[in-house]
Structure 1
Amino acid sequence: MGNVTMKTIADKAGVSVSTVSFCLNNSGRVGEDTKKEVLRIAEELNYTPNLSARELAGKKSTTIGVIIPDCADLKNAPLLKGIDNSLEANNYFNLVCFTHNKVERERAYINLLRGKNVDGLIIFPYVDRKRTQNSAQLNDLVKQGVPVVFVDTYLNQVDASWVITDNYQAAYEGTKFLLDHGHRKIAYIGGLYHIVGQERLRGYTEAMQEADLYDKNWIYSECQFGDSVEDISDSVKTILAAERPEAIMAFNYNSTLAVINTVKENPYLKKEDPEIIGFDYLMPVQEYDLAIYTYNQPHFEMGKKAVEILMEDIKNNKRDKARNQIKLTASLEAVSVKAAARIKDNKNKR
């Protein structure tokens, strides 16, 4: 069939165009039977709304743009699931774009999505070693009244809402956990290039200072979220070999794998039997005779919360209002059999 419009549906249903509009937008006073019939005909005719026309008429596109760094990162699956589930519940759709940790792709996708008339943006922003970030473009969007919500991390220079993990608290409690196990020489492997790395290092540092055990020589802070496991492994071998820590905190997925591989491949480190705490989802490790834990971040809930904030902004046309700043709690979980056994032993001693 040719171009199907609301008038096409109205003619077939024997109602007015305004009634069809009310039914499709779930607004206005329309009888339930009429609404069901209009929706049935719209589906039968494969009706697709003209998003550009709706935008020009002051309507919503019912589409949200989602920009994240990497489709291969395991933590992004529950994040996208939380976003998609919540958008579906609000009769919204999403357009997902992957930047592959390139700020120029982020800029290009923002322009692309604005051209698609999306009603708002959920963004996992990227910052590289040179602290290159897209603050100017994002600030322009916020000033124009485009709803923007950051997830997982945020940019201090942009006055937008955000939903993240309480990274300081997780690192602080994780370090205290290792201290409670009797460890005194605890190394930290991380990065300082955006707020997540800074907050995790702050949590580690304060816990070590409270125990009067802080030593800057136990910190390697040159990692970056986009670094490969191989690159990080080459970097951390020196500090781990020199300091021979009793326990290690690693600030993200790749750095955790790098630490595990480095310890496994070096007998002098393996002999120390260090406990390892990482961040993000790790598959259970059966074959390593190490105590390995990870902070699983609530990315599904993070995605849901981001949509909740965005829907509120869109519904109320919020502009120049106070921004939402939400921190969610991460949970420490055992990854290896040895770690699970130690947690069980500690519970039995209480």
Structure 2
Amino acid sequence: MATIRDVSKLAGVSVATVSRVLNRSGYVHEETERKVLRAIKELSYTPNFVARSLSNKKTSTIGLMVPDITNPFFPELARAVEDVMQLYGYTTILGNSDESVEKEKQYVEVLKQRYIDGVILASTALTADEVHKFGVPVVVLDRALTSDTIPMVTSKNREGAREATRFLLAQGCRKIAHLRGPAQLLNADERCQGYLDIVEQTDWFHPGLVVAGNYEMKQATDATLALLKKYPDIDGIFAGNDMMAIGALRAAQILGISIPDKLAIVGYDGITMGEVVYPELTTMAQPIYDMGALAARMLIKMIEKQPLDTLYYELDVQLIERGTTRKV
């Protein structure tokens, strides 16, 4: 069984440095931290956090709240959170809120009774004031709140939506619709606004081209069927997430519309499911793993009472071209 000395030897650092990385105490250079974490993983080293938990009354347990475990985006996010938490000796408890405010509140109360050390919220049915009352460190992930005091990790939603819409115009699309997410979510509003920033400058746009898919495949399929029957000249769709984009793809196939020759589709997220549908989905990909890992590291710093470099991270997104758009 590997020891802390084995880790220090493999990483080429002192035992004291390994200890600082594990305990999040004192300054450790970022590259040094990466070396230590790689050594821990390579040696399958398991730190003994029992003594530390007894002395500081911590449980080394955090809660992760997601809104819809059936959406592949959130398991991919959860994997990153769990990977980082496990490296630092923390256990992650997963809760699925089903977009319900009441269910989310119930989960929070249960987690607090278990004396968790902190919470990562990828589901924000709650308000900022309600989050402030948790009594433990909180990091909001993906679904940002309107708050200047709660740490958050998200992506450049509005900028990514603009790029996706411009890309569809560059494809030759002349009437682009938008499948938007739930009205109460800030990231859905930002993606919709990014779309509007581009299309409101055209002579063909009207509000009827924006329809709700609520981030769900079935709702998006039904909404797209109605949309394409009402406006058969639509030749482009920007969906606010990949699940809705896949729903739009399904609707087009039901109607016998050729993809991408007659209709181009771009999603948002970059989930792996987009690679297994046919045609494969063009998407604005978020750095899903990086977002989850960053949120986990922020929460650990807060739990260990270490200062954060910043309270807000907005990560870049990347257009990934696949089969639902044309090669130009």
Q: Do the structures match in fold with TM over 0.5?
A: yes
User: In structure 2, what is the equivalent of residue 187 of structure 1?
Assistant: 177
Q: Which amino acid aligns with 2:296?
A: V
Give the 5 Å matches for 1:108-257. Answer: 108-127=106-125, 133-141=126-134, 144=135, 146-156=136-146, 159-191=149-181, 192-210=183-201, 212-213=202-203, 215-225=205-215, 227=216, 229-243=217-231, 244-257=233-246
Distance 1:262 1:148, change over 3 A: same
Shift of 1:214: 6.0
Distance 2:81 2:226 in 1: 41
| One-letter amino acid of the structure 2 residue matched with residue 76 of structure 1 | F
Partner of residue 41, structure 1: none
Q: Is the 8 A contact 2:23 2:304 kept in 1?
A: no
Counterparts of 2:305 and 2:51 in 1: how far apart (Å)? 23
Q: Which residue of 2 aligns with 1:329?
A: 316
Q: Does 1:306 align with 2:295?
A: yes
Alignment of 1:83-98 (within 5 A): 83-98=81-96
Contact between 1:67 and 1:97, CA under 8 Å: does it hold in 2? yes
User: Contact 1:153–1:195 at 8 Å: present in 2 too?
Assistant: yes
- 1:155 alignment partner, SS class: coil
Give TM-score scaled by structure 1 length.
0.71
Is the Cα contact below 8 Å between 1:70 and 1:99 reproduced in 2?
yes
User: For residues 123 and 130 of structure 2, what CA distance do their matches in structure 1 show?
Assistant: 12
Residue 295 of structure 1: aligned partner: 284
Structure-2 change in CA distance of 1:50 and 1:95 (3 Å): farther
CA displacement at 1:157 relative to structure 2: 5.5
Conservation of the 8 A alpha-carbon contact between 1:233 and 1:262: yes
Residue 271 and residue 161 in structure 1: after superposition, are their counterparts in 2 closer, same or farther (change >3 A)? closer
Larger Rg: 1
Q: CA RMSD in A?
A: 3.1
Q: CA 1:274–1:95 in structure 2 vs 1: closer, same or farther (change >3 Å)?
A: same
Q: By how many angstroms is 1:303 displaced?
A: 0.8
Match of 2:275 among 275, 278, 284: 284
Q: Which residue of structure 1 aligns with residue 105 of structure 2?
A: 107
Offset at residue 202 of structure 1 (A): 1.0
In structure 1, runs of 5+ residues without a counterpart are 1-21, 29-46, 128-132
Q: Judging changes above 3 Å, is the alpha-carbon distance between structure 1 residues 272 and 218 closer, same or farther for their aligned structure 2 residues? A: farther
Change (3 A) 1:256 1:164: same
Q: Among the aligned pairs, what percent are the same residue? A: 22
In 2, are the aligned partners of 1:135 and 1:158 still within 8 Å (CA)? no
> 3-state SS of the aligned residue for 1:111?
helix
Contact in 2 for aligned 1:296/1:332 (Cα 8 Å): yes
Gaps spanning 5+ residues in structure 2: where? 1-18, 26-47
> Within 2, Cα distance between the matches of 1:165 and 1:217?
26
Structure 1's 171 and 26: CA in aligned 2 closer, same or farther, altered over 3 A?
A: closer
Name the counterpart of 2:9: none
Partner amino acid, structure 1, of 2:312: Q
User: 1:326/1:214 Cα in 2 relative to 1: closer, same or farther (>3 Å)?
Assistant: farther
Q: Is the 8 A contact 2:160 2:191 kept in 1?
A: yes
Report how many residues are paired: 282
Distance 1:296 1:322, change over 3 A: closer
SS at match of 1:205: helix
CA–CA distance in structure 2, aligned partners of residues 114 and 158 of structure 1: 24
Structure 1 distance, partners of 2:64, 2:195, is: 32
Per-residue CA deviation, residues 235-285 of structure 1 (Å, 9 max, x unaligned), is 332222222212111112332122111111214676961110012323335
CA 1:214–1:58 in 2, change beyond 3 Å: closer, same or farther? farther
Tell me the TM-score normalised to structure 2 length.
0.75
Question: In 2, are the aligned partners of 1:190 and 1:201 still within 8 Å (CA)?
Answer: yes
